[in-house]
Structures are given as structure tokens and as C-alpha cells.
Chain A
Amino acid sequence: MAKSIKIRAKSKGGITTVKALITHPMETGLRKNKKTGEMIPAHFIQEVVCKHNGKEVINCEWGGSVSKNPYLAFKFSGGKKDDTIELSWKDNKGEGDSISAKIR
């Protein structure tokens, strides 16, 4: 199950709009834990890939300055209702998640 990703893809007039919200702390590595005084280690998504029917439609490289629980929206031409959209991410710790959804 793709617990960390919410995705919505809608096709209209030959253009598919994809909106995704990913649950992730996106720690820059620059923050200090106020109680312990220790630096909170960097933990952020580095790569996000989205595919439409197996073909890559976007490839994102992110840094720690993308906001916590990052949002992504983009558009590509083509795509129609019931086509498959897959989105996956990978972070600096090597963790990742992915989701598959149908275009509405």
C-alpha cells in the first residue's frame, strides 16, 4: 500500500493534471532539537518520478528546502480516463514509496 502518497489525476481537453501530496518530514538537517540540543539529521525526498502508462512524465530532484509534506502538481499532454499513473519517491535514507492510480 502506498501510505504516504495521495494522488489525483484528471484529464480534460487532452491535458492531464496530476496533483500529489506526500507525507514526509523533509528535514533539512539544519534544525536543532530544542530539548536535546542535537541537530535533527537531514531526511528529505530527493527524487520523485511519475509515469503514465509506463512512460515517464516527470522526474523531480528535490532538496531539503521543499516544504514538509510536499505538494507536487504538473501537467502533461495526453492521458485519458482510466489510464494508469504511477508516482514514486525516494529519500536520502534510501526509503521510498509508490502509488498507482487511474486518471479520472
Chain B
Amino acid sequence: MSLNQKRRVFLKGSLAAGTLGAAAGLLTPGMVLAAWNKTAFTAKGIDEAIAAAAGSPTTAPSTDITIKAPDIAENGAVVPVSVSTKIDGVESISMLVEKNSTPLSAVFHLPKGTLPDVSTRVKMGKTGDVIAVVKANGKLYSARKSVKVTIGGCGG
């Protein structure tokens, strides 16, 4: 009897704590951090996508950005991409896949103290360039790397 009571109190407590946690700091369904950039993610052209994601379609090619991605991706559905840079004051890193119907894949917003070194895996429909756009101190820099895709990754 008392064990059941203890369980109930424990469960009730953890449920309350859980709800509090959800309300307090982490994402709740209704809460949006900085409204997902629909314009950028649905843009069909590369310039459009970069402009919507980073503010301008014009970027300065930089050799200080390193894109790590396979030269040949066996599976276009899962292409590992890492972007890092020596540039200072990085605010965000955007990853785009040039030949995808909507090129923008991901945008990483980096607060001060977070290193400009991010990794994820993206889908590539066909052989083409992976483009990284780095926004630092209000300026835009970019780099690109060609990835050959043997089996396209968009399920088509």
C-alpha cells in the first residue's frame, strides 16, 4: 500500500517537474525561437536561398573555410558534411546543396563561445557542390566542395 503511495507521489512529482521543464526553458510546441526561415528553405535558386538565409546573395569566396565531405558519396541520402573555419566572429554557418530542388539544407546559429565547427548529414539528389556560407561580423564568406553522388538521395 505504502509502496504504491510512494510511487504515486514520485510519478506525480516527476510529471510536474517534467512539465515545468518544458515550460521553463526548452522548446514547447507553441514556442518558436526565431520563426523557421521558410523563405530560405523553400527557395529554389542558390542565390535566393543564400540571400534569404544570410541576408545577401553575394559572398566572398574564402580559403579559410573547410568543407569536409566525401569526394564520392555512395549513398546520396546520407552525406556527412562538416564545415569549419578560421574566420573570427562567426555568427552563422549555412549549408547548401547546389543541385537540390531547394538548396538550403541547414543553418547553424552560433552564439559567442561556440566554435565555428559543425557537422551533420545531408541528402543530395545528384552530383554537385556542397556550399558553405559563413556569416562573420556581418560579412558573408563561402566555399564549395564537389561531391559525386552515385545513388541519389531524395528517393526519386
Chain A residues in the interface with B (C-beta under 8 A): 15, 28, 30-32, 46-47, 49, 51, 54-68, 70-78, 86, 88-90, 92, 94-96, 98, 100
Whether B105 lies near A62 (C-beta < 8 A) is yes
Q: In whole Å, how far is B51's beta carbon from the nearest beta carbon of chain A?
A: 15
8 residue pairs, one from A and one from B, having the closest CB atoms = A67-B121, A31-B155, A73-B119, A63-B41, A59-B109, A76-B114, A75-B115, A88-B26
Which chain B positions have C-beta within 8 A of A56? 111
Tell me if B120 counts as interface (CB < 8 A to partner A): yes
Tell me if B110 counts as interface (CB < 8 A to partner A): yes
Whether B97 lies near A47 (C-beta < 8 A) is no
Which chain A positions have C-beta within 8 A of B78? 67-68
Chain B residues in the interface with A (C-beta under 8 A): 21-22, 25-30, 32-34, 36-37, 40-41, 77-80, 82, 97, 100-102, 104-111, 113-115, 117-123, 153-156
Which chain B positions have C-beta within 8 A of A78? 113
**Given A58-B111, A58-B114, 19 further pairs, Cβ under 8 A:** A28-B123, A47-B27, A51-B26, A55-B111, A57-B113, A59-B109, A60-B109, A61-B109, A67-B77, A67-B121, A67-B123, A67-B153, A68-B77, A72-B120, A73-B118, A74-B115, A78-B113, A88-B26, A92-B36
Known: A74-B108, A86-B25. A59 touches B154 (CB 8 A): no
